[in-house]
Homo-oligomer: A and B are copies of this chain.
Amino acid sequence: MEKVLDYLKQNQQRFLAEFCDYLRFASVSAQPAHKNDLHACAAWLVAHCQAIGLEAKLCATAGHPIVIAKTPRAKNSQQPHYMVYGHYDVQPPEPLELWKSPPFEPRIVGNTIYARGSMDNKGQHLAHLKAVEAYLKTGTALPCDLTFVIEGEEEIGSESLSGFLKKNRRELNCQAVVISDTGMPSPKHPALGYSLRGIMALEITLHGPARDLHSGGFGGAVDNPAMAMSQLLAQLRDQHGRITIPGFYDGVAPLTAYERKEYARLPGTDAGLKKMIGVKNLFGERGFSSSEQRSARPTFEINGLTSGYQGEGSKTIIPSWARAKITCRLVPNQKPEAVRKAVVAHLKRICPPTMRLEIAAGHGAEAYFVPPTGPQAQAALRALEKAFGRKPILMREGGSIPIVNQFKKILGADSLLLGLGLPDDNAHSPNEKFSLECFEKGQRMAAFLWQELSR
């Protein structure tokens, strides 16, 4: 292991240059204009995997390609086999004007790198690749076989990956999936995640008049879609932060006393959270701490709202339509399709007679939950402690990695969530960043992990 750790230490400068190359691809999966950028990014990744000694290939899908990279293995290898999952696609960078430097031109300030995709997720799986590179380049035997599966559709629902897993079930059969795509409370608090929230997306459009109308000529006799949308959405959450859609909370299991105790051990205060995100006051469902609200409770979130005139100055119209982009975060035991059905039925029930309601279904995924007491989780905790020099904590994650459910269903494998992001890394926001300390310690954690898992 000394050789491996030395190799990592001596090559950080080069790793960083390669990281920057990787970040320069505008691999925005949600925007069709970036299709070629995604392809170019995937091709770069294949070449990089090959250069470090992996057997890598690009696998075409109906959407963006999947990159597969394997460690060289003995014929009929009896070693355990683990998968490392990541994604090379990134969130849209908008609003661009809020970035302090262009999102696809990486900028290093002190021990931090700024770029879209730096934390979510390029930097995190690159740390795993670098750990394997250290094994391969120093001739150190890996105690297990590894397959990297790095997809290009995570931010839009991983639609192609399920089919790919099914088709390659035998080849991808593994003991566990390792995923670094979440976070830890601070570099002093390395963490193992044991739960993820699910998601259910939809887009609501209210259609009023056939075209924008002059608000002088018609205003007063015609309902305004922006007002109708406001009144529709306003009814969906009460003053105590509870979603009022009948059936929305169906199946939600209460937090156990053990979990609430673990939550109470998390570092950080509400005052610190308030300051970090810059809000006047926090707001959430009554009866839960902010940490619990952020990861153990379902949400109904408006991600975007559009109606009428968006430009400078004023335009005296009654808009023809109003649209809301919605995602709900789900918790264990909620079914995305059941929640969608409850939301749609309620919207239909309360839609005013002046509006035509159009609902477009988006992606959906169940929440994930695995008790953190098994031997793999214990091995992961040891690797974290060795790399970070601190006792790791157990935590639920508020985000969603929908594909985790498919790993379980299709491959029968649990996932180990070894997140390297920090809470203020601005994932999905302008000025996304990644700590270079987390990048380096993440490489060490990944190097220890294969030893611990194979013990």
Contacts and interface: CB of A to CB of B under 8 A. Distances in A.
A106 interface: no
Contact of A210 (B277, B291, B356): B277
Interface in A179-193: 183
Interface stretch (A4-12, A311-319, A371-379, A437-445): A311-319
A199 interface: yes
A221 B282 contact: yes
A53 interface: no
A30 B219 contact: no
A231 interface: yes
Interface stretch (A65-73, A133-141, A297-305): A297-305
B327 A215 contact: yes
A257 to B, nearest CB: 21
A21 interface: no
Copies in the complex: 2
Interface in A419-455: 423, 426-431
B304 A308 contact: yes
A237 B297 CA distance: 32
By size class, the interface of chain A is 35 or more
A31 interface: yes
A359 interface: no
B302 A216 contact: no
Given A213-B429, A427-B214, A302 B325 contact: no
Interface in A229-286: 229-237, 273, 277-285
A48 B381 CA distance: 83
Contacts of A288: 220
Contact of A427 (B217, B273, B306, B309): B217
A178 interface: no
A315 B226 contact: no
B234 A230 contact: yes
A317 B303 contact: yes
Contacts of A310: 94, 304, 306, 310
B429 A230 contact: no
B354 A91 contact: no
A295 B308 CA distance: 22
A30 B294 contact: no
A95 B310 CA distance: 10
13 contacts: A91-B315, A211-B431, A215-B303, A221-B282, A221-B294, A222-B279, A224-B301, A227-B233, A227-B234, A233-B234, A302-B307, A304-B310, A315-B325
B284 A221 contact: yes
A361 to B, nearest CB: 11
Nearest to A32: B312
Interface in A304-341: 304-319, 322, 324-325, 327, 329
Given A201-B314, A210-B277, A279-B222, A217 B319 contact: no
A319 B304 contact: yes
B314 A219 contact: no
Given A94-B309, A220-B293, A230-B234, A430 B316 contact: no
Contacts of A318: 301, 303
Interface stretch (A54-62, A161-169, A393-401): A393-401
Contact of A224 (B302, B397, B430): B302
Contacts of A208: 279
Given A91-B316, A94-B315, 4 more contacts: A217-B294, A303-B308, A315-B428, A316-B327
| CB-CB nearest 4 A-B residue pairs | A210-B278, A216-B399, A30-B313, A234-B234
B221 A293 contact: yes
A317 B92 CA distance: 11
A157 to B, nearest CB: 9
B316 A199 contact: yes
A160 B64 CA distance: 55
A392 to B, nearest CB: 19
A135 to B, nearest CB: 32
Interface in A90-107: 91-92, 94-95, 98
A428 B214 contact: yes
B302 A221 contact: no
A362 interface: yes
